[in-house]
Structure 1
Amino acid sequence: MKEVNEMQFRDLNAQYNKYKTEIDNAIQRVLDKGVFIGGDEVSELESRLAAYTGTKHCITCANGTEAMTLVMMAWGIKEGDAVFVPDFTFFSTGEIVSFVGATPVFVDVDADTFNMDPKKLEEAIENVLNEGILTPRVIIPVDLFGLPADFDNISRIATKYGLKILEDAAQGFGGSINGKKACSFGDASTTSFFPAKPLGCYGDGGAIFTNDDGLAELLNSYKVHGKGNNKYDNVRIGVNSRLDTIQAAILNVKLTAFINHELDDVNRIYRLYTEKLDGIVETPVIPEGYVSSFAQYTIKLKSGRERNDLQSKLSSEGIPSMIYYVKPMHRQGAFNNIVSDDNYYKVSNLLSDTVLSLPMHPYLNEEEIELICMSIKAYFGLS
């Protein structure tokens, strides 16, 4: 058993130690071959990821943020376009919209799932249409903390208004709805291989998924300087966004582990946490038919003071925790130019004040979970 003062929020060393031989050998094979960009490992990974998610095309790239940016470029999203994103999420989901000159329109989230609220989404679309300044183009639902968004209702709304859906599954890889995998919803989907994600490499990396042949062809061009028949035949302005061969080799090992046991393990840990914390704090809500890949295990407290005091107590006992996210999107300084009514984002504002994420990864053991839960119970005078 680890001492509590050695506890990791997401223990990447434990994963590496378990698969050290496989990872080291995979890296060595790349070094021996000397093909560091576009090697066989990249093609193998793309094929395996497409098969796992049930999509026709997987296009790897440099990171999850650029994955979304590439889709915006391929769809021709530009100034004057409105793109609807959840207000409670990581900054990059809105950033990539502004990056291509379009306007992010923030949508409040559901109080239980923390994901985009379909009712608030439709209200936001109607508001934009009534104002007549921007043209609604895209919805970007986020699979927050590993839980897929409400794609049944969001897809219905997208069809009604003629909008495209880009699923931001940076945190959602491995999640599912009634057996349909995250990264397969919408017109295109993206994920991130940042080390702390459900499937992470040892640096930056990302991928795009789609069943659209034409979109896949465009993305493969845009990600390599707008190439045509080859990288020296440039038919459009693109970017340089490729996944390194070494990272692909690492991800191939990690994908096997993820499929074989890691997704099952984090869901077992979710059940243990929830059983021990039931009735003490608000624990994650997983709707019927949904599976989360638990990028985070996030509890909700009654107030900001309670959340902060509990975090301080956990820290004093060597238990790491994190706040995702301290600011909703509409309060970010980078979006000061976008007029937002703070009263419209009541749920996002509340979550930013009251959520706390506990250690969560496939290698967390039951003794560590017990220590964490006992500390939380003690805070509430229940030990």
Structure 2
Amino acid sequence: MTHIDSATAGPVSGAVRGDGLDARLVVERGSFRLDVALTAAPGDVVALLGPNGAGKTTALRALAGLTPLTGGHLRLDGDSLDRTPPESRPVGVVFQDYLLFPHLSALDNVAFGPRCQGASKADARAQAAQWLDRMGLADHAGARPRRLSGGQAQRVALARALATRPRLLLLDEPLAALDARTRLDVRAQLRRHLTEFEAVAVLVTHDPLDAMVLADRLVVIEHGRIVQEGAPSDIARHPRTDYIAQLVGLNLYKGRAEGHAVRLDAGPAITTTEDLTGPAFVAFPPGAVTLYRDRPTGSSARNLWRCEVAGLETHGDQIRADLTGELPLAADLTTVAAAELDLQPGATVWATVKAAQTHAYPA
């Protein structure tokens, strides 16, 4: 279980009080405290990101009413849901393992929600048939869950959640159970359905690609608190914690800027093209690092550090070297380059990074 924070949160762009989601989720359990502010306008898709134990799932359960708040508030379209039981909330949930009823057909799984809202059996099934058709599953209406593929089951679960016409849609790791090939296809389909959804959607995921593709806004949670939030492109370009930097694949350091150099809190200075003064972050991708076995003499790079190879691992179609020494960093290189350098744990290398490949910004 996990937790969240709101003290540093700002309102989602476009949100209007009384229209959409306005929440401060406070949940206290033992020594853990989740305190997160979430605001979203109808049509917004917000992704909650964070390491295990950060508070993401706790936040989602609090929104659904499955975990009671110990403080704060929860309003949806101006109505307080603080004391509203889960079954009475205008909220749809897609769980990680979908939780489809195994004894019901896809059609009757989707019809379950409208039936619970008072629709006749015929009306509920008619609505369900329309949703399955929108999901491209009309031919599978009579199939039970065990006969469906992972991608088909995910779409049935989404149709079941949407058939109740919720004002808040919650998605808990909706693509986690899918294999890589299916995930790619279903992610694109899910993005299309979320684009058409007219209310608020909140997505919990560990996968940065899911978050970047599906969400309009990211909210990053660590230790029960919001550490950064904003548009995916802004967060990818300006990470503010090590977790976020690793998530988006950047080396990240913090120090004090003096002109075109950032003097690190613990370590050397890094030369940048930006001209800043005061506390600053500086980041660069592992692919910007060039490695040499001997100290280079002809390199034009302004940044040069003596390092030691701490470890090597395959990273996509490249080798990622974990380096320690003057500046701990990650470097990406091809398998051919790694072989030519005879890289192995314990080897001494020189790492260079051009100033133009760094990015500095105020802390």
Q: Same fold (TM over 0.5)?
A: no
Output the TM-score relative to the length of structure 2. 0.22
Higher helix share: 1
Which of the pair has the greater relative contact order for Cα pairs under 8 Å at 6+ separation?
1
Which of these two proteins has the greater Rg computed from alpha carbons?
A: 2
